[in-house]
Every structure is written in structure tokens, then in C-alpha cells.
Amino acid sequence: MRDYQRLEIWQRSHKLTLRVYNLTQSFPKEELYGLVSQMRRSASSIPTNIAEGCGRNSFIELNRFLVIAAGSSSELQYQFILSKDLKYIDDSIFKELFDEVTQIRKMIYSYCEKLKLISDHPTSLTPTPASYRNFHSWTLLPYHQAAIHLILRNSPDFVFLIAHQLYRPSFHHHLL
């Protein structure tokens, strides 16, 4: 289980969701069950799917939920375009929100690539008894080490989860 609240993509998508809720309060009342509802669902779906994926037991499931979150970000982008064209939001707010959701989607796809990199070559990760948090003491292929450096910025416990999934019986013994 990963701590999704530590992930920058979750933090940014949560803030974006709060902004969408605030922004849509000023939309016309006739849009309450239309565009407002759709935008709020799309926006909240991004951090919700990131959180749900982090609560799953495998990289494959996490990746699946990240892809759903990326799809929701594309939906939200279109809804920003529609809101601007209907004159519900001005150009400066549109640009700011559109750019933010674009960045979040890029971060999601980047995270998916890191997961794929690690899951494509799981046998090269060999932890030693030294310390599960000191991944420099592990035998790693260079691309794994680069991926772990990037992932550690968002979730230090992620490396432990990789090792725990791959080496449950023997690795867990070293933590006792």
C-alpha cells in the first residue's frame, strides 16, 4: 500500500479539484446538473483514481487506475475548453487551469512509465540485509536506480513496497 497523499500528482490534482469546485459555483444554475456536475466528477476522479490505485496490491492495478486518472484529466481539459467557449470562464483562468491539468496528465504518464520500467525487470532488484531504505546498497541495473531516484522524490516508501512484493518471505525477515 502506497501513501498517495505524499505523491505530488495527487496533491496537485486535489488542489485542482478544489479549484474546479470553487470555479463552478459561479456557473449558471441551469448547468448545475450538466457541465458543473461533469467537471466536478472529472476533476475529483483524478485524485480519487490515484488514491485507489495506490491502495491496490500490484503495479499492474496501480497503472490501470493511473490510466483512468489520465483519461479523466483529458475529459476535464475538454470541459475547460467548453467553459471558455461558453464564456463561463475568461481566457486567463482557462489558460492557468488547462496548463495545470496538462502538467498533471504528463506527470501521471511519467509515473506509469516508471512503474513499467520497474515491473519489466523485477529480478534485477536484489536487496541486502543492510537497510531497505538504503537502496544504494542493493544490486541494481542503472535504469532501476534512475527510476528509484525519481520515485523517491514522491514516495520514499515506494522502494520498500517493491522489495516487499518481490521478496516477501526472506526480505520481511530482515525488517524484524
DSSP states of 90-157: -HHHHHHHHHHHHHHHHHHHHHHHHHHHHHHSGGG-B--SS-TT-GGGSB--HHHHHHHHHHHTT-TH
Helices (H), strands (E): how many in the chain? 7, 0
Residues contacting 160, CB < 8 A, separation 6+: 132, 133
CATH classification of 1-119, choosing from 3.60.20.10, 1.20.1440.60, 3.40.50.720, 3.40.50.2020?
1.20.1440.60
**Is the pTM of the predicted complex or chain greater than 0.95?**
no
Q: Where in the chain is the domain with CATH 1.20.1440.60?
A: 1-119
Give per-residue pLDDT as tens, 46-103: 999 999 999 988 888 999 999 999 999 999 999 999 999 999 999 999 999 999 999 9
